Structure 1
Amino acid sequence: MLAEAEKFKQEDDVQRERVAGRNNLESYVYGVKQAAEEAGDRLSSLEKDSVLSKCRETISWIDGNSLAEKEEYEHRLKEL
């Protein structure tokens, strides 16, 4: 019974880290998206479109990969 509890604890830890990775990426993407939308004249329309496109692409990836591993979320975060 103790071994089973330890196994579930490890699974919970992995799940918690995965969710934290997703939340970090999602939070960062929405922050960047909001900053780009509020940038006004500080960004050219080409730069703004590029940033917003990458944000939409990443949000779409997050929505389609809800079971991705923590490392995948971290990799996506580094790409941004």
Structure 2
Amino acid sequence: MTRLIYRLKLPPESFGSQIATMSPDFHRLNSFRKITPIKIEKTETLALFSLYIVHLFLRILVLIFPTSSVGFLFVF
């Protein structure tokens, strides 16, 4: 099962007129004003979920052992 996440490509006027006109991607941004679907496969969703679980585990380690070397390494 695939999930579709829609990303809205904003017109260059929303980024500010000076930045948009100085940018080399001005015409490219101007042409992409539609909504483009981005597919995320099941394996990518599972990988992101597992990374989130590892992140939570490391945060719990930091809370339990704030002064140890493991906790100090993963504070940032």
Please classify the TM superposition score into its range, dividing by the shorter chain length.
Answer: 0.3 to 0.5
The higher relative CO (CA closer than 8 Å, separation ≥ 6) is in: 1
Greater strand percent: which structure?
2
What TM-score do the two structures reach when normalised by structure 2?
0.40
Decide which structure has greater helix share: 1
